[in-house]
Structure 1
Amino acid sequence: MELEFAYSIQRSVKRRKLTITVERDRSVVVHAPVGCSDEQIEKVVTAKRQWIYEKIGHPQKYQDLPHAPGKELVSGESALYLGRQYRIEIVNSGFKEIRFEQRFLIPDSPLDKRAEALRNWYIQRAKEKIVPRVLQHARQLGVNVSKVKIADNRYRWGSCTMNDNVNFNWRLIKAPMFVIDYVIVHELAHLLEANHTPSFWNIVRAQAPTMDKAKNWLKENGQILEQSI
Protein backbone atom coordinates (compact mmCIF):
# COMPACT_ATOMS: atom_id res chain seq x y z
CA MET A 1 0.00 0.00 0.00
CA GLU A 2 1.40 3.39 -1.00
CA LEU A 3 1.71 5.82 1.89
CA GLU A 4 0.65 9.46 1.61
CA PHE A 5 3.50 10.68 3.79
CA ALA A 6 7.29 10.44 3.77
CA TYR A 7 9.37 9.29 6.73
CA SER A 8 13.01 9.35 7.72
CA ILE A 9 14.89 6.56 9.50
CA GLN A 10 17.35 6.97 12.36
CA ARG A 11 19.18 3.79 13.36
CA SER A 12 21.09 3.35 16.61
CA VAL A 13 23.18 0.53 18.05
CA LYS A 14 21.69 1.32 21.48
CA ARG A 15 18.09 0.99 20.34
CA ARG A 16 16.41 -2.34 21.01
CA LYS A 17 12.99 -1.79 19.46
CA LEU A 18 11.45 0.28 16.70
CA THR A 19 9.48 3.40 17.56
CA ILE A 20 7.77 6.04 15.43
CA THR A 21 7.43 9.72 16.30
CA VAL A 22 5.55 12.50 14.55
CA GLU A 23 7.38 15.72 15.30
CA ARG A 24 5.71 19.07 15.84
CA ASP A 25 6.43 20.06 12.22
CA ARG A 26 4.53 16.92 11.10
CA SER A 27 7.68 15.10 9.97
CA VAL A 28 7.60 11.34 10.62
CA VAL A 29 10.73 9.78 12.11
CA VAL A 30 11.34 6.06 12.59
CA HIS A 31 13.86 5.18 15.31
CA ALA A 32 15.15 1.68 14.68
CA PRO A 33 17.84 -0.79 15.80
CA VAL A 34 20.81 -1.08 13.45
CA GLY A 35 19.79 -4.55 12.30
CA CYS A 36 16.29 -3.52 11.24
CA SER A 37 15.92 -3.60 7.44
CA ASP A 38 14.10 -1.05 5.30
CA GLU A 39 11.52 -3.72 4.44
CA GLN A 40 10.82 -4.46 8.12
CA ILE A 41 10.47 -0.75 8.83
CA GLU A 42 8.11 -0.22 5.90
CA LYS A 43 5.94 -3.07 7.13
CA VAL A 44 5.64 -1.54 10.62
CA VAL A 45 5.01 1.95 9.27
CA THR A 46 2.29 0.64 6.98
CA ALA A 47 0.66 -1.20 9.88
CA LYS A 48 0.73 2.01 11.97
CA ARG A 49 -0.37 4.30 9.14
CA GLN A 50 -3.76 5.16 10.65
CA TRP A 51 -2.13 6.22 13.93
CA ILE A 52 0.42 8.27 11.97
CA TYR A 53 -2.32 10.00 9.94
CA GLU A 54 -4.08 10.91 13.19
CA LYS A 55 -0.88 12.35 14.68
CA ILE A 56 -0.08 14.33 11.52
CA GLY A 57 -3.56 15.86 11.67
CA HIS A 58 -3.42 16.60 15.40
CA PRO A 59 -4.20 20.29 16.15
CA GLN A 60 -1.04 20.66 18.26
CA LYS A 61 1.12 19.98 15.23
CA TYR A 62 2.33 23.17 13.67
CA GLN A 63 0.66 25.26 11.04
CA ASP A 64 2.85 27.69 9.15
CA LEU A 65 2.71 31.24 10.43
CA PRO A 66 0.67 33.40 8.02
CA HIS A 67 3.37 36.09 7.93
CA ALA A 68 6.98 36.25 9.04
CA PRO A 69 7.25 38.21 12.29
CA GLY A 70 9.93 40.49 10.87
CA LYS A 71 11.40 41.30 14.30
CA GLU A 72 15.05 42.22 14.65
CA LEU A 73 17.35 42.63 17.62
CA VAL A 74 17.15 46.41 17.71
CA SER A 75 16.17 48.94 20.36
CA GLY A 76 12.43 49.14 20.87
CA GLU A 77 11.75 45.51 19.98
CA SER A 78 11.09 42.88 22.63
CA ALA A 79 12.18 39.30 23.43
CA LEU A 80 10.46 36.51 25.34
CA TYR A 81 11.69 35.27 28.70
CA LEU A 82 9.68 33.04 31.05
CA GLY A 83 6.47 33.84 29.22
CA ARG A 84 6.79 37.62 29.17
CA GLN A 85 7.99 40.07 26.55
CA TYR A 86 10.81 42.37 27.68
CA ARG A 87 12.05 45.45 25.87
CA ILE A 88 15.38 45.33 24.04
CA GLU A 89 17.91 48.14 24.33
CA ILE A 90 21.10 48.18 22.28
CA VAL A 91 23.76 49.86 24.40
CA ASN A 92 27.33 51.13 24.01
CA SER A 93 28.45 50.90 27.62
CA GLY A 94 31.55 48.73 27.20
CA PHE A 95 30.31 45.39 28.59
CA LYS A 96 30.45 42.38 26.30
CA GLU A 97 27.63 40.14 27.53
CA ILE A 98 23.87 40.63 27.66
CA ARG A 99 22.47 41.98 30.90
CA PHE A 100 18.90 41.50 32.03
CA GLU A 101 17.44 44.24 34.22
CA GLN A 102 13.72 43.79 33.53
CA ARG A 103 14.79 44.56 29.97
CA PHE A 104 17.46 43.14 27.69
CA LEU A 105 20.58 45.28 27.54
CA ILE A 106 22.43 43.99 24.47
CA PRO A 107 25.91 45.26 23.51
CA ASP A 108 26.00 47.01 20.16
CA SER A 109 27.36 44.65 17.49
CA PRO A 110 26.33 43.26 14.07
CA LEU A 111 22.85 41.68 14.05
CA ASP A 112 24.16 38.12 13.72
CA LYS A 113 26.41 38.61 16.76
CA ARG A 114 23.46 39.97 18.77
CA ALA A 115 21.41 36.89 17.86
CA GLU A 116 24.26 34.59 18.90
CA ALA A 117 24.66 36.47 22.18
CA LEU A 118 20.94 36.23 22.96
CA ARG A 119 20.91 32.51 22.13
CA ASN A 120 23.86 31.92 24.47
CA TRP A 121 22.12 33.95 27.17
CA TYR A 122 18.97 31.84 26.83
CA ILE A 123 20.97 28.59 27.00
CA GLN A 124 22.74 29.71 30.18
CA ARG A 125 19.47 30.74 31.82
CA ALA A 126 17.95 27.38 30.81
CA LYS A 127 20.81 25.55 32.54
CA GLU A 128 20.39 27.67 35.66
CA LYS A 129 16.61 27.40 35.93
CA ILE A 130 15.49 24.20 34.18
CA VAL A 131 18.08 21.73 35.51
CA PRO A 132 17.27 22.37 39.23
CA ARG A 133 13.54 22.04 38.46
CA VAL A 134 14.19 18.67 36.82
CA LEU A 135 16.01 17.41 39.91
CA GLN A 136 13.26 18.75 42.18
CA HIS A 137 10.48 17.04 40.22
CA ALA A 138 12.52 13.85 39.98
CA ARG A 139 12.78 13.71 43.78
CA GLN A 140 9.05 14.30 44.15
CA LEU A 141 8.24 11.59 41.61
CA GLY A 142 10.76 9.17 43.09
CA VAL A 143 12.66 8.63 39.83
CA ASN A 144 16.40 8.53 39.26
CA VAL A 145 17.82 10.72 36.50
CA SER A 146 21.29 9.91 35.23
CA LYS A 147 21.95 13.18 33.41
CA VAL A 148 20.06 16.37 32.54
CA LYS A 149 21.05 18.07 29.30
CA ILE A 150 19.94 21.36 27.78
CA ALA A 151 19.81 20.55 24.08
CA ASP A 152 19.07 22.10 20.70
CA ASN A 153 16.29 19.74 19.57
CA ARG A 154 14.39 22.16 17.38
CA TYR A 155 11.24 20.08 16.95
CA ARG A 156 11.01 18.52 20.39
CA TRP A 157 10.59 20.19 23.78
CA GLY A 158 11.99 17.27 25.75
CA SER A 159 13.06 13.65 25.47
CA CYS A 160 14.34 10.81 27.61
CA THR A 161 16.67 7.93 26.78
CA MET A 162 16.95 4.30 27.80
CA ASN A 163 19.82 5.29 30.10
CA ASP A 164 17.52 7.56 32.15
CA ASN A 165 19.00 10.70 30.66
CA VAL A 166 16.60 13.58 30.00
CA ASN A 167 17.05 16.36 27.46
CA PHE A 168 15.24 19.68 27.25
CA ASN A 169 15.10 22.24 24.47
CA TRP A 170 16.78 25.48 25.55
CA ARG A 171 13.96 27.44 23.88
CA LEU A 172 11.67 26.39 26.73
CA ILE A 173 13.24 29.14 28.83
CA LYS A 174 11.07 31.56 26.84
CA ALA A 175 7.90 29.87 28.15
CA PRO A 176 6.16 30.46 31.51
CA MET A 177 7.37 28.32 34.38
CA PHE A 178 4.14 26.31 34.55
CA VAL A 179 4.78 25.25 30.95
CA ILE A 180 8.38 24.34 31.73
CA ASP A 181 7.21 22.29 34.71
CA TYR A 182 4.69 20.43 32.55
CA VAL A 183 7.33 19.48 29.96
CA ILE A 184 9.72 18.37 32.70
CA VAL A 185 7.10 16.22 34.41
CA HIS A 186 5.99 14.79 31.06
CA GLU A 187 9.50 13.48 30.34
CA LEU A 188 10.15 12.26 33.89
CA ALA A 189 6.82 10.40 33.89
CA HIS A 190 8.15 8.36 30.97
CA LEU A 191 10.70 6.90 33.38
CA LEU A 192 7.74 5.40 35.24
CA GLU A 193 5.42 4.69 32.31
CA ALA A 194 6.90 4.41 28.81
CA ASN A 195 3.71 4.99 26.85
CA HIS A 196 0.96 7.60 26.94
CA THR A 197 -1.44 5.40 28.89
CA PRO A 198 -4.17 6.68 31.25
CA SER A 199 -1.76 5.85 34.08
CA PHE A 200 0.90 8.05 32.48
CA TRP A 201 -1.44 11.03 32.21
CA ASN A 202 -2.59 10.53 35.80
CA ILE A 203 1.04 10.78 36.93
CA VAL A 204 1.59 13.96 34.91
CA ARG A 205 -1.62 15.61 36.06
CA ALA A 206 -0.93 14.83 39.71
CA GLN A 207 2.54 16.39 39.52
CA ALA A 208 1.63 19.19 37.10
CA PRO A 209 -2.02 20.14 37.86
CA THR A 210 -1.93 22.93 35.25
CA MET A 211 -1.20 20.35 32.53
CA ASP A 212 -4.16 21.30 30.33
CA LYS A 213 -3.35 25.00 30.59
CA ALA A 214 0.28 24.27 29.68
CA LYS A 215 -0.68 22.11 26.70
CA ASN A 216 -2.97 24.86 25.41
CA TRP A 217 -0.23 27.47 25.88
CA LEU A 218 2.20 25.38 23.82
CA LYS A 219 -0.45 24.81 21.17
CA GLU A 220 -1.02 28.56 20.81
CA ASN A 221 2.54 29.82 21.35
CA GLY A 222 4.89 26.94 20.64
CA GLN A 223 6.00 28.13 17.24
CA ILE A 224 6.82 31.57 18.62
CA LEU A 225 9.40 29.97 20.92
CA GLU A 226 11.33 28.79 17.89
CA GLN A 227 11.77 32.30 16.50
CA SER A 228 15.02 34.04 17.36
CA ILE A 229 13.09 36.74 19.26
Structure 2
Amino acid sequence: MNAPVLAYAHPQATHTAPLGHASVAYLLVRSSRRSIGLEVGDSGLTVRAPLRVSMANIESVLQGKAQWVLSKLDERHTRTQLTPRIEWQHGALLPYLGGTLQLSLHPAAPRGGELLAVGEYRWVLHLALPVDAPAASIRALVNAWWLRHARTLFTERLQRFAPAVGVQWQSLRLSNARTRWGSAKEDGSIMLNWRLLHFRMPVLDYVVVHELAHLRVMDHSPRFWTVVGATCPDYARLRAELRQHPAPDWVL
Protein backbone atom coordinates (compact mmCIF):
# COMPACT_ATOMS: atom_id res chain seq x y z
CA MET A 1 0.00 0.00 0.00
CA ASN A 2 1.43 3.38 -1.02
CA ALA A 3 2.00 6.08 1.60
CA PRO A 4 -0.41 9.01 1.43
CA VAL A 5 0.77 12.01 -0.55
CA LEU A 6 1.27 15.12 1.56
CA ALA A 7 0.88 18.58 0.07
CA TYR A 8 2.77 21.72 1.04
CA ALA A 9 2.00 24.94 -0.80
CA HIS A 10 3.52 28.41 -0.71
CA PRO A 11 0.69 30.98 -1.08
CA GLN A 12 2.58 32.58 -4.00
CA ALA A 13 3.75 29.31 -5.52
CA THR A 14 4.97 29.39 -9.11
CA HIS A 15 6.14 25.77 -9.48
CA THR A 16 5.42 22.34 -8.01
CA ALA A 17 7.79 19.43 -7.45
CA PRO A 18 7.27 15.89 -6.11
CA LEU A 19 9.65 15.36 -3.19
CA GLY A 20 9.45 11.90 -1.65
CA HIS A 21 5.80 11.26 -0.78
CA ALA A 22 4.99 14.98 -0.82
CA SER A 23 3.91 17.46 -3.43
CA VAL A 24 5.63 20.78 -2.76
CA ALA A 25 4.40 23.97 -4.43
CA TYR A 26 7.16 26.54 -4.10
CA LEU A 27 7.95 30.13 -5.03
CA LEU A 28 10.80 30.49 -7.52
CA VAL A 29 12.68 33.79 -7.41
CA ARG A 30 15.34 34.45 -10.03
CA SER A 31 18.05 37.07 -9.60
CA SER A 32 21.70 37.79 -10.40
CA ARG A 33 22.89 35.49 -7.62
CA ARG A 34 25.45 32.80 -8.46
CA SER A 35 24.00 29.72 -6.80
CA ILE A 36 20.67 28.05 -6.03
CA GLY A 37 19.40 28.62 -2.52
CA LEU A 38 16.52 26.97 -0.64
CA GLU A 39 14.63 28.74 2.14
CA VAL A 40 11.76 27.35 4.23
CA GLY A 41 9.88 30.11 6.04
CA ASP A 42 6.44 30.68 7.48
CA SER A 43 4.92 30.76 3.99
CA GLY A 44 6.62 27.59 2.77
CA LEU A 45 9.48 26.83 0.38
CA THR A 46 11.19 29.58 -1.60
CA VAL A 47 13.82 28.69 -4.19
CA ARG A 48 16.25 31.43 -5.20
CA ALA A 49 18.13 30.77 -8.42
CA PRO A 50 20.41 32.53 -10.93
CA LEU A 51 18.71 34.07 -13.95
CA ARG A 52 20.06 31.59 -16.49
CA VAL A 53 20.07 28.34 -14.51
CA SER A 54 17.82 25.65 -16.03
CA MET A 55 14.75 24.17 -14.39
CA ALA A 56 16.48 20.80 -14.67
CA ASN A 57 19.27 22.05 -12.42
CA ILE A 58 16.78 23.51 -9.98
CA GLU A 59 14.84 20.23 -9.84
CA SER A 60 18.09 18.33 -9.31
CA VAL A 61 18.99 20.50 -6.31
CA LEU A 62 15.49 20.06 -4.90
CA GLN A 63 15.69 16.29 -5.17
CA GLY A 64 19.12 16.29 -3.56
CA LYS A 65 17.80 18.33 -0.64
CA ALA A 66 14.39 16.63 -0.48
CA GLN A 67 14.87 15.17 3.00
CA TRP A 68 15.98 18.52 4.43
CA VAL A 69 13.14 20.42 2.73
CA LEU A 70 10.49 17.97 3.93
CA SER A 71 11.81 17.98 7.49
CA LYS A 72 11.68 21.78 7.60
CA LEU A 73 8.20 21.89 6.05
CA ASP A 74 7.00 19.31 8.55
CA GLU A 75 8.45 21.34 11.45
CA ARG A 76 6.69 24.43 10.12
CA HIS A 77 3.39 22.56 9.80
CA THR A 78 3.64 21.22 13.35
CA ARG A 79 4.53 24.66 14.69
CA THR A 80 1.57 26.18 12.86
CA GLN A 81 -0.80 23.59 14.31
CA LEU A 82 0.45 24.25 17.84
CA THR A 83 0.52 28.03 17.55
CA PRO A 84 -2.45 29.66 19.29
CA ARG A 85 -4.58 31.99 17.17
CA ILE A 86 -6.52 35.07 18.11
CA GLU A 87 -10.19 35.63 17.29
CA TRP A 88 -10.50 39.37 16.73
CA GLN A 89 -13.80 40.06 18.46
CA HIS A 90 -15.28 41.48 21.67
CA GLY A 91 -14.13 39.35 24.61
CA ALA A 92 -11.15 37.81 22.78
CA LEU A 93 -8.22 36.73 24.95
CA LEU A 94 -4.56 37.38 24.23
CA PRO A 95 -1.63 36.02 26.25
CA TYR A 96 -0.04 39.02 27.96
CA LEU A 97 2.92 39.07 30.38
CA GLY A 98 2.27 35.47 31.36
CA GLY A 99 -1.44 36.03 31.96
CA THR A 100 -4.42 36.99 29.82
CA LEU A 101 -5.58 40.25 28.31
CA GLN A 102 -9.25 40.45 27.32
CA LEU A 103 -10.52 42.81 24.64
CA SER A 104 -13.50 44.92 25.66
CA LEU A 105 -15.17 46.98 22.93
CA HIS A 106 -17.34 49.98 23.65
CA PRO A 107 -17.46 53.35 21.85
CA ALA A 108 -17.01 55.35 25.07
CA ALA A 109 -13.56 53.88 25.75
CA PRO A 110 -10.53 56.19 25.52
CA ARG A 111 -9.51 56.66 21.90
CA GLY A 112 -6.04 55.14 22.25
CA GLY A 113 -7.20 52.23 24.40
CA GLU A 114 -7.08 51.78 28.15
CA LEU A 115 -5.44 48.86 29.99
CA LEU A 116 -6.83 47.90 33.39
CA ALA A 117 -5.64 45.18 35.77
CA VAL A 118 -8.64 43.15 36.97
CA GLY A 119 -6.90 40.36 38.87
CA GLU A 120 -3.66 38.46 39.23
CA TYR A 121 -2.22 38.08 35.73
CA ARG A 122 -5.52 39.34 34.28
CA TRP A 123 -6.03 42.54 32.33
CA VAL A 124 -8.75 44.12 30.21
CA LEU A 125 -7.97 46.37 27.24
CA HIS A 126 -10.84 48.79 26.57
CA LEU A 127 -11.06 49.87 22.93
CA ALA A 128 -13.20 52.60 21.39
CA LEU A 129 -15.09 50.37 18.95
CA PRO A 130 -18.64 49.01 18.73
CA VAL A 131 -19.12 45.43 19.92
CA ASP A 132 -19.81 44.27 16.36
CA ALA A 133 -16.75 45.98 14.82
CA PRO A 134 -15.05 44.09 11.95
CA ALA A 135 -12.12 41.87 12.90
CA ALA A 136 -9.74 43.97 10.78
CA SER A 137 -10.68 47.14 12.67
CA ILE A 138 -10.18 45.46 16.03
CA ARG A 139 -6.81 44.07 15.06
CA ALA A 140 -5.66 47.44 13.69
CA LEU A 141 -6.54 49.22 16.94
CA VAL A 142 -4.88 46.51 19.05
CA ASN A 143 -1.83 46.71 16.78
CA ALA A 144 -1.45 50.44 17.39
CA TRP A 145 -1.87 50.10 21.14
CA TRP A 146 0.44 47.07 21.32
CA LEU A 147 3.32 48.84 19.60
CA ARG A 148 3.02 51.94 21.77
CA HIS A 149 2.84 49.83 24.90
CA ALA A 150 5.75 47.59 23.84
CA ARG A 151 8.00 50.59 23.22
CA THR A 152 7.11 52.13 26.59
CA LEU A 153 7.62 48.89 28.53
CA PHE A 154 10.82 47.90 26.72
CA THR A 155 12.28 51.37 27.30
CA GLU A 156 11.49 51.08 31.00
CA ARG A 157 13.18 47.67 31.26
CA LEU A 158 16.24 48.81 29.30
CA GLN A 159 16.64 51.80 31.59
CA ARG A 160 16.31 49.54 34.63
CA PHE A 161 18.87 46.92 33.62
CA ALA A 162 21.48 48.92 31.67
CA PRO A 163 23.21 50.24 34.83
CA ALA A 164 23.35 46.71 36.30
CA VAL A 165 24.98 45.38 33.12
CA GLY A 166 27.28 48.41 33.00
CA VAL A 167 26.34 49.69 29.55
CA GLN A 168 24.51 52.56 27.87
CA TRP A 169 22.04 51.90 25.09
CA GLN A 170 21.26 54.53 22.45
CA SER A 171 18.13 53.57 20.52
CA LEU A 172 15.31 51.02 20.45
CA ARG A 173 13.68 49.43 17.42
CA LEU A 174 10.75 47.02 17.46
CA SER A 175 10.88 43.80 15.47
CA ASN A 176 8.24 41.52 13.93
CA ALA A 177 10.57 38.53 13.52
CA ARG A 178 9.09 35.06 14.03
CA THR A 179 11.99 33.46 15.85
CA ARG A 180 14.54 36.16 16.71
CA TRP A 181 13.73 37.91 19.98
CA GLY A 182 16.31 40.66 19.92
CA SER A 183 19.63 41.99 18.68
CA ALA A 184 22.20 44.59 19.62
CA LYS A 185 24.83 46.56 17.74
CA GLU A 186 28.09 48.06 18.91
CA ASP A 187 26.67 51.56 18.40
CA GLY A 188 24.24 50.93 21.26
CA SER A 189 21.15 50.29 19.18
CA ILE A 190 18.81 47.59 20.48
CA MET A 191 16.10 45.64 18.67
CA LEU A 192 13.40 43.84 20.65
CA ASN A 193 10.53 41.73 19.34
CA TRP A 194 7.05 43.09 20.18
CA ARG A 195 5.90 39.47 20.70
CA LEU A 196 7.82 39.45 23.98
CA LEU A 197 4.75 41.07 25.56
CA HIS A 198 3.11 37.64 25.40
CA PHE A 199 5.62 36.19 27.88
CA ARG A 200 6.12 36.54 31.63
CA MET A 201 8.05 39.60 32.73
CA PRO A 202 11.07 37.54 33.89
CA VAL A 203 11.33 36.08 30.36
CA LEU A 204 11.08 39.52 28.79
CA ASP A 205 13.70 40.80 31.22
CA TYR A 206 16.05 37.94 30.29
CA VAL A 207 15.94 39.03 26.63
CA VAL A 208 16.54 42.65 27.63
CA VAL A 209 19.56 41.66 29.72
CA HIS A 210 20.78 39.36 26.94
CA GLU A 211 20.83 42.19 24.41
CA LEU A 212 22.35 44.68 26.83
CA ALA A 213 25.09 42.15 27.58
CA HIS A 214 25.95 42.14 23.88
CA LEU A 215 26.98 45.78 24.23
CA ARG A 216 29.84 44.43 26.35
CA VAL A 217 30.47 41.12 24.57
CA MET A 218 29.26 40.78 20.97
CA ASP A 219 29.49 36.98 20.80
CA HIS A 220 28.06 34.09 22.85
CA SER A 221 31.30 33.10 24.51
CA PRO A 222 31.52 31.96 28.16
CA ARG A 223 32.40 35.56 29.03
CA PHE A 224 29.11 36.74 27.52
CA TRP A 225 27.05 34.28 29.57
CA THR A 226 28.95 35.34 32.69
CA VAL A 227 27.80 38.92 32.03
CA VAL A 228 24.21 37.73 31.53
CA GLY A 229 24.29 35.53 34.62
CA ALA A 230 25.55 38.33 36.86
CA THR A 231 22.26 40.20 36.33
CA CYS A 232 19.97 37.30 35.42
CA PRO A 233 21.14 34.16 37.31
CA ASP A 234 18.12 32.13 36.13
CA TYR A 235 18.76 32.82 32.44
CA ALA A 236 19.00 29.15 31.36
CA ARG A 237 15.49 28.31 32.58
CA LEU A 238 14.03 31.53 31.19
CA ARG A 239 15.71 30.92 27.84
CA ALA A 240 14.16 27.43 27.73
CA GLU A 241 10.73 28.85 28.59
CA LEU A 242 11.00 31.31 25.71
CA ARG A 243 11.67 28.45 23.30
CA GLN A 244 8.98 26.11 24.61
CA HIS A 245 5.94 28.39 24.49
CA PRO A 246 4.91 29.70 21.05
CA ALA A 247 3.50 33.20 20.70
CA PRO A 248 0.11 33.66 18.98
CA ASP A 249 0.07 33.85 15.21
CA TRP A 250 -0.85 37.43 14.39
CA VAL A 251 0.74 40.14 12.32
CA LEU A 252 1.16 43.82 13.09
Q: Please give the TM-score of this superposition, normalised by the length of structure 1.
A: 0.65
Given residue 88 of structure 1, which amino acid in structure 2 is its aligned partner? Answer: L
Q: 1:127 to 1:158 in 2, by over 3 A?
A: same
1:170 alignment partner in structure 2: 194
Structure 1 unaligned blocks of 5 or more: 1-22, 28-52
Alpha-carbon distance in structure 2 between the residues aligned to 1:94 and 1:135: 31
1:224 alignment partner in structure 2: 247
2:88 equivalent to 1:73: yes
Alpha-carbon distance in structure 2 between the residues aligned to 1:66 and 1:110: 25
Please give the secondary structure, in 2, of the residue aligned with 1:224.
coil
2:204 equivalent to 1:183: no
Given residue 106 of structure 2, which amino acid in structure 1 is its aligned partner? Answer: V
**Equivalent pair of 2:101/2:125 in contact (CA under 8 Å):** yes
1:86 alignment partner in structure 2: 101
**Equivalent pair of 2:85/2:250 in contact (CA under 8 Å):** no
**Equivalent pair of 1:175/1:225 in contact (CA under 8 Å):** no
Q: Runs of 4 or more off by more than 6 Å in structure 1?
A: none
Please give the secondary structure, in 2, of the residue aligned with 1:86.
strand
Given residue 100 of structure 2, which amino acid in structure 1 is its aligned partner? Answer: Q
Alignment counterpart, residue 155 of structure 1, candidates 165, 173, 179: 179
**Equivalent pair of 1:179/1:214 in contact (CA under 8 Å):** yes
1:105 alignment partner in structure 2: 126
Alpha-carbon distance in structure 2 between the residues aligned to 1:184 and 1:105: 28
| Equivalent pairs, count | 176
**Equivalent pair of 2:84/2:248 in contact (CA under 8 Å):** no
The root-mean-square deviation of aligned C-alpha atoms, in Å, is 3.2
2:119 alignment partner in structure 1: none
Given residue 228 of structure 2, which amino acid in structure 1 is its aligned partner? Answer: V
Structure 2 unaligned blocks of 5 or more: 1-39, 45-67, 117-122
Please give the secondary structure, in 2, of the residue aligned with 1:66.
helix
Alpha-carbon distance in structure 1 between the residues aligned to 2:196 and 2:159: 17
Q: 1:94 to 1:175 in 2, by over 3 A?
A: closer
Alpha-carbon distance in structure 1 between the residues aligned to 2:209 and 2:177: 18
| Cα deviations by residue, 1:53-102 (Å, 9 ceiling, x for unpaired) | 9xx99xxx995232564531223321122121122222233643322223
Given residue 142 of structure 2, which amino acid in structure 1 is its aligned partner? Answer: L
The answer to which structure, 1 or 2, has the higher relative contact order (CA under 8 A, 6+ apart) is: 1
Alpha-carbon distance in structure 2 between the residues aligned to 1:187 and 1:97: 30
Given residue 114 of structure 2, which amino acid in structure 1 is its aligned partner? Answer: R
Using the aligned pairs only, state the percent identity: 25
The structure with the largest alpha-carbon Rg is 2
**Equivalent pair of 2:85/2:248 in contact (CA under 8 Å):** no
Please give the secondary structure, in 2, of the residue aligned with 1:209.
coil
Given residue 227 of structure 1, which amino acid in structure 2 is its aligned partner? Answer: W
